[in-house]
Chains A and B, each alone.
Chain A
């Protein structure tokens, strides 16, 4: 095995292996188990930094390719690799898991089971981001369901059972649609000489076939719709977002952080990595609908957030709104009558903006959920109307919280601004009308965040229940808060840190898609797969 194979495999499987060792701990050694888990997540973060060290940002192709035969009779490979798009998300994942592990001190019950599932979840997420074989991708995708179900269902709030099964059913439904799309690509790839006349699950080969326009238009449209529904559930986009408020509200704080910070990004990542490159024609066919859906999600999520009285539900709906920008940014692909792409730079800007929005939201939403968790641990309620005056009782905490909420708001200089600005600017090229609506979403966001800050942190005095429990935050909580706040500022001031990593990959993606679309329009190329209708 090459060094890359060892490094990438270790990054993925270290948490799961570490989870097995966790079983050997004594049930009462709670503190030791927590420290151990934290250490594991820190090591995994170190490994991702090592991956970054070997990563060449000037190369837009897949790097550090690992390919080993897994199920030879079906042409299934254990295939891994990173490019600029997955690299940034891998870093985000490892980072948020470290923070969530630190936040896991608030879990007091059945700690061993919790930590084991927590680590298995990390393996699933990293596996999705790193795998380059559709089958492997699918396996990791579904592997995440089980730990997530139990993490919400066992350690969650009062309606945890309902929330957990709802999450599971929605995601499984999306997964099954993805499975059918996967089979469509698998069997249709056999008709192309690029796959050597064999059916393959290899995403790189499938992308090449798509780029050569050898999946016909009908297949691309059907497959894109199937894949999009699957990923939109995870993203989540209106109208399949309804699992999210329930899951968020019931999940324990660290799991909410992971759910908002990382799991939602899997939806966006799936669209970028699978749905778009494999169906360039389908993407273009649906582009206007996607942008419109994204814009609607922005506005809908913002209004819904404004109407909430539960603090966590508010943050959950703000996620729906923020992920709308991701969808918009991905899809602002404009073509003229002859099928040539217009303003490819704008589209690249939109894609970069969407990617940056995912990263920024990963930091800020994890922070927001953590901040909600901190007060919930103290006063055991989340009713916005019963808060107020926290600034007096917990000044240190409130200052951090306000910074993080402003990052979520998209204040210039903080991380949330860049993604939204990029997306809205690029949308102007696509459709001025939609750009204006999307931009007005920023005002609504400002509205509900400022109102929240006012209701929770400002005001003369806290009058809700358990006022005596409002103790200042402890060192562990402050550390998490400071880390998130610092990253929110750093990403806002120097976004190129992340944008530079993905620049070339985004460029390559747009060019490949444009080429794929033109090839799909070309009737000569179509003949290869028309047989499979």
Chain B
């Protein structure tokens, strides 16, 4: 359907084609970008601040995804939501169906809706944070928000990727604006240096990834993800996956290169070098965006890619699944350990959080590796687990990842937001300068405590439940292959490692006195920043105490994705 036809439909008030319906929130975000640019062009940004335009646009998109989410979750019969459903023109044929849409490029399943909901929520919270923290200023607003929203649209595409081409497009679309965002504080040499590092790494990784995609598509003769698994079986035609087989070598190389590209986005060791520099150079707000949203988008892609490859439990391909799973497991264990150990010696808060981000990417990758291992298991070969049991365990792995990401959204955003808000008061991001802040800004410090303890994984906070789910899926994957128990052990030890550096921040805030003459940071509870951090921290606590509903939802999402 051409653009003209769509516009004609819309003008006549007819029911829009499905692809447009599901794409509503993305279209709303694109219109927001246009509105932002027009506001600045016609110089009305003094009366109508660009951050409000962006916030409004993000909210509209969020409502769109939210109504899709509720529609998919609870059906069309939720009385309270009827108005919203109608406003977004949701119909059973449109939003109720998985797709694929756009000639097979995108799917619209629960998994995609879940991720898009998270991303839109994050976008709203992020823009609200920039309103509070004053980065960017009113003259630069349109540039910053255009990049931010543009990158978010790329991530939303990533969630629904159904084709290797979409996968690449999405990665580029979320990366390119983030390069510019890192360099956004133009006057700072550090920011420019960080952005240059980031862009060079990024370009390299993108090139490698594109080559890998072309190898995979070339060997398998298709780039459509649902067909990959079947094509893998055909390509081997009874031969097994060993490295003496030239097809296997080419395919393995292709997969490895694609994973390298994704690993760059996830900042996995050894593709993490850009991460601490970029986080330190960029504003804390941008750091928060990179560490949460772009991780979520990349994980969505990784899960889709891995599921596409392991979809066919052909015994001759067990080798492929096993080596993929163990490879991811090794990368996850190394990443988590490296991130936690390297964070020890950090003095700058943003660098510390960058290493913590690396470590958490490692934990989350453990869930993916467990998923791949369990999906690749031979149903008759695992004692104590039936075929249905294996399916349940695979769902559990994905549930763990989704839950982790949901908690991670709040706890990491909270930590970065507090760093940004404290920076606005004391003009420093050094842990040293946080000494004794608890006396002056108790609300910021207590919320920081909640976020950091949740990052460690202590009950009763959300991070604990998320980590427990990952541990549980690793434990069960260990029944398929013992190596997962080793990964579990490493993950457990890492939890103890991580305590030390998070506590260093809290020690500085709570256990020492504010030095005489230090810049004061009075942030009362009843102020916009105070309420904002409380609003972000309360879900961290709630997700720990009432884990039932979200874990149930995540499990349903996983069930439909793995069907």
Contacts and interface: CB of A to CB of B under 8 A. Distances in A.
Main secondary structure of the interface of A (DSSP, over half): helix
Given A70-B548, A72-B548, A187 B475 contact: yes
Given A139-B460, A168-B499, A154 B510 contact: yes
Contacts of B176: none
Interface in B463-491: 464, 468, 471-472, 475-476, 479, 488-489
Nearest to B471: A183
Interface in A184-203: 184, 186-187, 191
A191 B479 CA distance: 14
A223 to B, nearest CB: 12
Given A168-B503, A179-B471, A187 B496 contact: no
- Chain A interface residue count: which class? 35 or more
B492 interface: yes
A71 interface: yes
A196 to B, nearest CB: 15
Nearest to A145: B458
B523 interface: no
B31 interface: no
Given A74-B547, A165-B500, A533-B383, 7 more contacts: A70-B548, A71-B547, A143-B459, A160-B511, A169-B496, A176-B492, A176-B493
A385 interface: no
B507 interface: yes
B369 interface: no
Contacts of B489: 180
B453 interface: yes
B437 to A, nearest CB: 14
A154 B506 CA distance: 11
Interface in A171-187: 172-173, 176-177, 179-180, 183-184, 186-187
B384 interface: yes
A187 B476 contact: yes
Given A169-B496, A169-B500, A532 B511 contact: no
B152 interface: no
B551 interface: yes
A96 B555 CA distance: 45
A281 to B, nearest CB: 19
Interface centre among A73, A138, A142, A183 (most CB of B within 10 A): A73
B387 interface: no
Interface in B362-388: 383-384
A172 B496 contact: yes
Interface in A122-179: 138-139, 142-143, 145-146, 149-150, 153-154, 160-161, 164-165, 168-169, 172-173, 176-177, 179
Contacts of B471: 179-180, 183
B495 A172 contact: yes
Nearest to A173: B496
Nearest to A528: B384
Contacts of A186: 472
B431 to A, nearest CB: 14
Given A74-B551, A154-B511, A183 B475 contact: yes
A146 B555 CA distance: 31
Interface of A: 70-74, 138-139, 142-143, 145-146, 149-150, 153-154, 160-161, 164-165, 168-169, 172-173, 176-177, 179-180, 183-184, 186-187, 191, 531-533
Contacts of A142: 458-459, 464
Nearest to A69: B548
A179 B492 contact: yes
A161 B507 contact: yes
B551 A153 contact: no
Given A71-B547, A169-B500, A531-B383, A183 B472 contact: yes
B316 interface: no
A142 B548 CA distance: 20
Contacts of B511: 150, 153-154, 160-161, 164
A139 B462 CA distance: 12
- In the A-B complex, list the 4 residue pairs whose CB atoms are closest, starting with the nearest: A531-B384, A139-B459, A531-B383, A176-B492
Nearest to B504: A165
A461 to B, nearest CB: 39
